[in-house]
Amino acid sequence: MAFFCSPSPGKQRFAPVTVLAGLLVMGACQTIPVAENVSLTDRVMKVSVGSADKVEDYSQDFQYASGYDASAFLTAHHATITGDIDTAANRYTVALSSDPDSNRLLERSFRSLYLAGQIENASAIAATLNNMGTPISLGSEPAAAIAAQNRDWAGLEVVARNLTEDTDGVILGTLLEAWAFAFQGRADAGLSRLMELNNGSEPPEMLFSQVALMLDYLGKTDDAAEAARIASSRNSSDTDTAIIMAGVLARNNARAEAITLIEQKLNDYYSRQQLIMRLKSGQSTLLIKPSPDVILANASADVALIKGSSLISRITRLRLAVYLNASFDRAHFHLGRVLRQANMIEEAMQHHQRVRQSSPWYQPARVLLGLYHSGTKRDFDAAHAIFTAMIEADPTNPLPLRFAGNNARRHDRFEEAMVFYDKAIEQGGATSKLNFYRGIALENLDRSRDAEAAFRVSLDLDPDDAHVLNYFGYWLLVNDGDPAEALQMIRKAVESDPRNGFFMDSLGWGYFKLGRFNKAMAFLERAVTLEPSDPVIIDHLGDAYEKTGRLREAIFEWGRALYYADDTVDAAIIQGKIEKARALLQQ
């Protein structure tokens, strides 16, 4: 999700500001990211054909489909391209009904079924392929999940060992086999199997937390607490690890350490105050010893969230976690995150809504729901209800106040926004971003001097924020500020992101304001190449052409600006410029 920084005319020229940077690229919500506006097209198709580089030609698929139910195949194929994974899975199944022995169809059906979370059906397809002598990568994962659901620990041990023979399944297979040993009372074998992941190279991060959880499950109090300390003390440990290890500590006579860990490791996206209060009162869900299905769901989530994992891997293994435990809040939260990245927004929100109020992941899930309503849906009331409920639950946390202010600002309720922003500052939330948003609200309240002061504070706190540099630089240009200072800011923004058309437009417009029209034209031409349908950028290029005597090209660009016109440009002014230029050409 992204939004333009200011609703006032012309200010949408500034590059989109990510609402929660990273989302959603976040490793356990250290920062909550914004959804990446992409479909699963390339990713799914590449996995479907079993190649990292090959994406097959649609016409070839049509030719191949001619031997069976072509309609079902092509529907499935198109659904895959558009990211409608449920439809793809179901239509591949229909196509298989008329050609059940097609390896190619079976493989595609398995991929789509697994990605859609249809675990039993995916397992059946994988078994069919295996019986035909064509085992498929990750084919044992759904079968392992079914064995786990049935609490068939001996069966899980066998399937998990088979999974470890798959390069992509080594870590998950090892974890599942280790836990299968532990659940059968073979504690030493389970711990030894876990430690095999520490094979001399850099061990996977979850190894330390998994060891702590196994010692906790086995009732080894002192060892579990010590392992939790080690896992949470690592520099790369994330907030998920902190939450889970806080639970291990709290369950093993170290509740004060658990509280300290939450205070130190969790950021404002989490309701630290409530988590600590519940721990002190003995009502925290972290005090509940996890059941085997929760333990295995957590192992699948750990593997899904390994840094560098593909989007496909994250989705499938988080769906596997939800299959293992339908109420596993951690998986619902992160599955919602990655589905947002895959542009599967509605389903993502469904998973965020399933995160329970008693869960440590409840508040970050509510943040994302609020941002969805505020930004994507432009539903002020729905977002306002979410953010104000968060404020009431955790009044000393400045983050919900900032989000409530942003929601008001996006809906042109600038006075309300300022109330929330000022309260956030009172609670210690005077960050660079908050001052930036305050500046935008003040600008729209015609308090230019206060707006400039807020922008300068924002840059004092973070001198390298490209969005603030670009926005404030452009703001100075259009508000008779120092052009040299403005250009210096904008150049810095462009250097940080040279493919950003909005930044490039600001730079070109800065040179235009200085009367350096040829240089302005060069940057504005580049900006239009990067953002070919933005009416303000196109209008600026038309102005530059007009100043350099290229009237016909100016008329052409102004005409394009009118074609793409929205509320960021004044169509009447542009039409007037066109008529004036035409009159000059006729003289």
Tens digits of residue pLDDT in 82-99: 455 555 455 545 544 544
Question: Binning pLDDT at 50, 70 and 90, where does residue 74 land?
Answer: very low
Average pLDDT taken over every residue of the chain:
84
3-class DSSP assignment, residue 15: coil
User: For position 203, what pLDDT does the model report?
Assistant: 75
Do the domain assignments include residue 574?
A: yes
Burial class (CB in 10 A: 0-12, 13-18, 19+), 53: exposed
Q: How far is CA 454 from CA 422, 442, 459, in A?
A: 12, 8, 9
Chain segment 291-342, per-residue pLDDT in tens: 999 999 999 999 999 988 988 899 999 999 999 999 999 999 999 999 999 8
Distance CA(455)–CA(475), nearest Å, equals 10
A 10 A CB-CB count for 482 gives 10
State the residue for tokens 């209800």.
385
Do the domain assignments include residue 253?
A: no
3-class DSSP assignment, residue 38: coil
Bond prior to 207 in cis (omega within 30° of 0)? no
- DSSP code for 17: E
User: For position 7, what pLDDT does the model report?
Assistant: 31
Tell me the one-letter amino acid at 373.
H
Q: Give the CATH number of the domain where residue 516 resides.
A: 1.25.40.10
Do the domain assignments include residue 115?
A: yes
State the residue for tokens 């591949």.
92
Q: Which of 136, 151, 173 is the last residue of a domain?
A: 136
Do the domain assignments include residue 583?
A: yes
Distance CA(51)–CA(64), nearest Å, equals 18
Q: How many domains does the chain have?
A: 2
282 contacts: CB under 8 Å, gap ≥ 6? none
Do the domain assignments include residue 364?
A: no
Question: Is 60 exceeded by the pLDDT of residue 378?
Answer: yes
3-class DSSP assignment, residue 2: strand
User: For position 93, what pLDDT does the model report?
Assistant: 56
User: For position 428, what pLDDT does the model report?
Assistant: 94
Do the domain assignments include residue 524?
A: yes
User: For position 200, what pLDDT does the model report?
Assistant: 64
Q: Which residues form the domain of 538?
A: 499-587
Q: Which of 136, 163, 182 is the last residue of a domain?
A: 136
Q: Which tokens hold the place of 273?
A: 């105050």
pTM across the whole model: 0.78
User: For position 103, what pLDDT does the model report?
Assistant: 65
Do the domain assignments include residue 109?
A: yes
Distance CA(183)–CA(244), nearest Å, equals 20
Cβ atoms of 350 and 368 closer than 8 Å: no
Do the domain assignments include residue 408?
A: no
Q: How far is CA 251 from CA 206, 213, 380, in A?
A: 19, 11, 42
Q: Which tokens hold the place of 551?
A: 């009237």
